[in-house]
Structure 1
Amino acid sequence: MSDNAASPAGMPPNVLPPGSWRRELAATFHLAWPLVVAQVAQNALQATDVIMMGWLGPESLAAGTLANTFLMPFFLLGVGIVGAVAPLTAQARGARNIKAVRRIVRQGFWAAILLGALLAPIVLQIRTVFGWLGQDPFLAARAEEYVQIGVLMLWPALGVIVLRSLLSSFDSTRVILLITIGGVILNACANYLLMFGHFGLPRLELRGAAIATVLTNFAMLAAFLTFVLRHRRFRRFNILIRFWKPDWQRFREIFRIGTPIGLTVLAEVGLFTAAALLMGRLGTDEVAAHAIALQCASLAFMVPLGLGIAATVRVGFAYGRRDADGIRLAGWTAFAIGTGFMAISALAFLVFGPAIVTVFLDPQKPENLHALALAASYLAIAGVFQLVDGAQVVAAHALRGLSDTAIPMLMAIFGYWLVGLPVAYVLGFIFEMRGVGIWLGLASGLAFVALLLVTRFAMREKLGLLPKAMAP
């Protein structure tokens, strides 16, 4: 079966004429913009939880933050692993192998179920682990209240990633945006009802927030699954037929490609966690300023992240149809858009940084002035940080489209932990540059990784990342 019977002259769908930069630009933008907005919406979903926990009081906010800080790395590891469904389905689509798509998605669900079963018992040890780390016993107990229920989100949330990967691989990204926005609204409403006990419901506070998160993820999974099973373009895949039939080769392939992705994500999350801990040694104002600058950088990062996901799909599609020129076009187009946007955001941070940070802290209060000055200085460095961060994420995702994840993982771990973190410590504490030094360390680590990953994509043919028969 073909993906689009109307393709002219028997060409596979979305095959671009050689050298068609304009068409590749249009295709990448069409695929990426809903993903970018969906990533922002996903952040809004988490931000909603934080805001409403704050309404409960500082103790609830602290406990909820601790719970999510402990849960998220395990979840992101799972996201990285099942995220391998995206390049694999894109490659299968490029090769016009319909059966492979069904089997990859089915094994993606298997991986999600297994990962949930493996990770949940670890997450449930939160109180014990926090005891070892010397956390406040009262806050650890309250965090455990949240996690005991919130851990159930692992299964539906990972299932959502599987279906998002399938939809992204077939350019159906607008439905991802719509369902994600629906999830944000549902989560906010459920929080309002369950956390605060409105409309006659019991006031469950943090447990209510956890229940809302679980319900939202199950609702999103149901919405994605309903769309895939009923839409004429996707129901032909019959993704649930013979669901319990194993395909061990593809199951292993998901873990082979996905595990390095998950570990790469953990390495980057760990770097920023370590940076926050270093900031904690400097003082409260430094921590607040770091949080402000990081929040601004994270928001801008959603654009190259969405473009990176699009690059995985476009590169994987070209790889599947054995189109070396298409791989080149897809990778460099996404890279150009991503770095171009980040150059604009970098300029905005440099020029408007002092005004931007006042959104977070009231400049009329004298006690905020030092933190605002620090935040503005960090944001100026974040301008440079933006360029290399955008470059490295797009390059990493383009390489994932080639199923190249193991070496990029090693490059990332080396760059983050053996370049970025030591430089941050030396500049921040040995050279006494304090928070500025820590941010320069982050930028240096990301720049090192960006250089390695972009060079690897540029040398993909010489490094044997393309089959020998795939001539440009």
Structure 2
Amino acid sequence: MSGMQDRSWWGREARATVALAYPLVLTNLAQALIPATDVVLLGWAGPKVLAAGSLGVNLYNACMIFGVGVMIAASPMMARALGQRAHNVRDVRRTVRQSLWAAVALVIPIWLLLWHSEGILLLFRQEPELAKQASHLIRPMMFGMLPLFVYQVLKSFVSALERPGWAFAAGAFAVFSNAILNYALIFGKFGLPALGLYGAGLGSTISNSVMAVGLAIVVTRHRHFRRYYLFGNFWRPDWARFAQVWRLGLPIAVTLGMEVTIFNAAVFLMGMIGEPELAAHAVAIQIASLCFMVPLGIGQATTVRVGLAYGRHDRVGVGRAGWAAFGVTMVFMVCSASLMLLAPRFLVGLFLDVHTPANAHVIDLAVAFLTVAALFQLVDGAQAVGAGMLRGIHDTAVPMLFAALGYWVIGFGTAILFAFHLGWGGIGVWVGLAAGLAAAAVLMMTRWMRREKLGLI
């Protein structure tokens, strides 16, 4: 009887996780589809434009993901507060307000950095013409980062209240507007000028702004959210809460930043190997990134579910929430790996015309990269949901060190060894990525299994 009750609890927790996760997965896909749409449209303009756009998008993403990491701190903070006391309006409002303050404080130095993107790319030994063209994309795109941060904080708010569907609705509308705007601005349609890469960046900024404004309207007008009065007394300082956001969020930001920058470093390595490898990597990494949105969304849901149990001081609930999410993640990653192995050319064909002879070499390379990507799907999912589990119990500093060891020491070192010293080229870079993700996954899941012995709960 006890075993049946345990299985019933696990089943209920898995269903609750999926119910919370699937709108977050769709929201993440919507966010990822904005730069992915840019890549698709730029691919229509030719491999050289695609290569320049890839450089620009990856540099932008490195800064953007770091900032989003700081904003993510709002999620476990609000979940714990609501676990301690339902309808904890004051604590939730303080967390949202100070997270928005952190967004403003962070975005200004990021803007200053990205304004000099051409010089940064040249420091990484990228082709001068590609670096110059990439800067034409980044300069208008970077101003959409602040509304994206605002959207992330508000998404954490509606997710902590277990109503993430509104974040998806705002994100889905932004994807639609981004596709139309970018098509018009890149190629000069609907009476608008043909701005190429600059148009792609401008369209993305407008879309991010639409996304943030849409969700802000929802949280100020909807009956489930408006009683929190999120934007009331916005200018009132709360330095203790502001510091707490940074104390919890900065390690998350560094962890995510190291994960994203190892993929960005892979882009730079591809640029050193050759233009076809760079273009193929741009396609393969977009496909892998879209698949990653699922474990990322499950990890975000896990942070909330674990955080609610953590706030209630429910050790059993913490464990159930974490392991149920892990099981759901593994099921999906097996499916995504199978798709990459069985239909790689179909997936690549979504980004490049497989019937164009000029694209043949790039397509073959992208298919080869996807084969390696399929092999690291399980460990990629494990490290993503493992990080979400640990964030739920406010454990972020040590996972940051795990990320540094796994992604950069093991992953980057392996990529350099296989790509250049052993002569594997682009495949060697992807083998290095797989090794880094595997190391991070093992370390994070080991820490989760030892959480009680380590005194984390």
Give the TM-score normalised by structure 1. Answer: 0.86
Confirm or deny: 8 A CA contact 1:19 1:329 kept in the other structure. Answer: no
Partner of 1:94: 83
How far apart are the structure 1 equivalents of 2:11 and 2:254? Answer: 35
With 200-209 and 97-106 compared, the bigger mean Cα shift is at 200-209
Structure 1 residue 58, shift from structure 2 partner: 6.1
Which residue of 404, 427, 433 corresponds with 1:442?
433
Q: Deviations over 1:24-55 (max 9, x none)?
A: 11111111111112222222211222333455
Partner of 2:376: helix, strand, or coil?
helix
For 1:24-39, list aligned pairs within 5 A: 24-39=13-28
- Whether 2:444 is the aligned partner of 1:453: answer yes
CA-CA distance at 1:300 after TM superposition:
1.9
Please say which of residues 346-355 and 246-255 is displaced more in the overlay. 346-355
Judge conservation of contact 1:312–1:398 (CA < 8 Å) in 2: yes
Asked if the contact 2:54/2:282 (under 8 Å) is kept, the reply is: no
1:80 and 2:66 matched: no
1:333 partner letter: A
Conserved 8 A contact 2:383-2:440: yes
1:421 to 412, 419, 423: 412
Distance 1:281 1:225, change over 3 A: closer
Q: Which runs of 5+ in 1 are unaligned?
A: 1-15, 467-472
TM-score, reference length from structure 2: 0.89
Instruction: State the partner residue of 1:302.
Output: 293
1:126 is the counterpart of 2:117: yes
* Cα deviation 1:386-445 (Å, max 9, x = unaligned): 010000000001111111111001001101111122223333444444444433322222
Q: Does residue 177 of structure 2 align to residue 186 of structure 1? A: yes
Q: Structure 2 CA distance, aligned partners of 1:306 and 1:224?
A: 18
Contact 1:153–1:213 (CA<8 Å) still a contact in 2? yes
Q: Which residue of 2 aligns with 1:262?
A: 253
**For residue 406 of structure 1, what is the aligned residue in structure 2?**
397
AA aligned opposite 2:386: A
Distance, in Å, in 2 between the alignment partners of 1:210 and 1:327 is: 42
Residues 47, 279 of structure 2: 8 Å contact kept? no
- Please list, as runs of the form range in 1=range in 2, the aligned pairs for 1:243-258 lying within 5 A after superposition: 243-258=234-249
Q: Take 1:162 and 1:430, find their aligned partners in 2: how far apart are those partners?
A: 44
Whichever residue aligns with residue 61 of structure 2, its letter is M
Does residue 1:271 correspond to 2:262, yes or no? yes
> Which stretches in structure 2 are left out of the alignment for 5+ residues?
none
**Cα distance in 2, alignment partners of residues 163 and 419 from structure 1:** 36
For residues 8-19 of structure 1, what are the structure 2 equivalents within 5 Å? Answer: none
Alpha-carbon offset, residue 298 of structure 1: 2.2
**Percentage identity across aligned positions?**
43
Task: Give the stretch that moved more between structures: 110-119 or 42-51.
Answer: 42-51
How many angstroms does 1:88 deviate by?
0.7
Task: Give me the whole-angstrom Cα distance separating, in 1, the residues matched to 2:137 and 2:275.
Answer: 27
C-alpha separation in 2, matches of 1:239 and 1:52: 37
Question: Superposition pairs for residues 59-78 of structure 1, below 5 Å?
Answer: 61-78=50-67
Judged with a 3 Å threshold, the aligned counterparts in structure 2 of structure 1 residues 363 and 446 are, in CA distance, closer, same or farther, namely same
Render the CA deviation track for 1:48-75: whole Å, top value 9, x for unaligned: 2233345566665555444333322112
Matched, 1:381 2:372: yes
* Residue 115 of structure 1: how far off its partner (Å): 0.9
Aligned to 2:303: 312
The whole-number CA distance in structure 1 between the counterparts of 2:423 and 2:127 is: 31
Alpha-carbon shift at residue 365 of structure 1 (Å): 6.4
SS in structure 2 at match of 1:20: helix
Report deviation, 1:232. 1.2
Q: 1:188 to 1:102 in 2, by over 3 A?
A: same
Question: Which of these residues, 184, 196, 200, is aligned with residue 209 of structure 1?
Answer: 200
Q: For the structure 1 residues 124 and 31, does the alpha-carbon distance in structure 2 shift closer, same or farther, using more than 3 Å as the test?
A: same
Instruction: Name 2:145's counterpart in structure 1.
Output: 154
The residue type paired with residue 231 of structure 1 is H
Choose the corresponding residue for 2:319, options 317, 324, 328. Answer: 328
Give the CA deviation at 1:174: 1.3
Please list the CA deviations of residues 337-385 of structure 1 after superposition, one character each: whole Å capped at 9, or x if unmatched: 0012112222333344466556556666677666555544443332320
Instruction: Figure out how many residues of one structure are paired with residues of the other and give that number.
Output: 451
For the 8 Å contact 1:98–1:237, the answer to whether it is kept is yes
Larger Rg: 1
Distance 1:392 1:47 in 2: 23
Letter of the structure 2 residue corresponding to residue 110 of structure 1 = W
Structure 2 equivalent of residue 175 of structure 1: 166
Show CA shifts across 1:90-143 (max 9, x none): 111111232110100000110111112222122212244345455555555554
Q: Confirm whether residue 349 of structure 1 aligns to residue 340 of structure 2.
A: yes
Find the aligned partners of 2:369 and 2:235 in 1 and give their Cα distance. Answer: 52
SS of equivalent to 1:404: coil
**What code does the residue aligned with 2:10 have?**
W
* Aligned CA-pair RMSD: 2.8
Please give the alpha-carbon distance, in whole angstroms, between the structure 1 residues aligned to 2:384 and 2:319: 17
AA aligned opposite 2:227? R
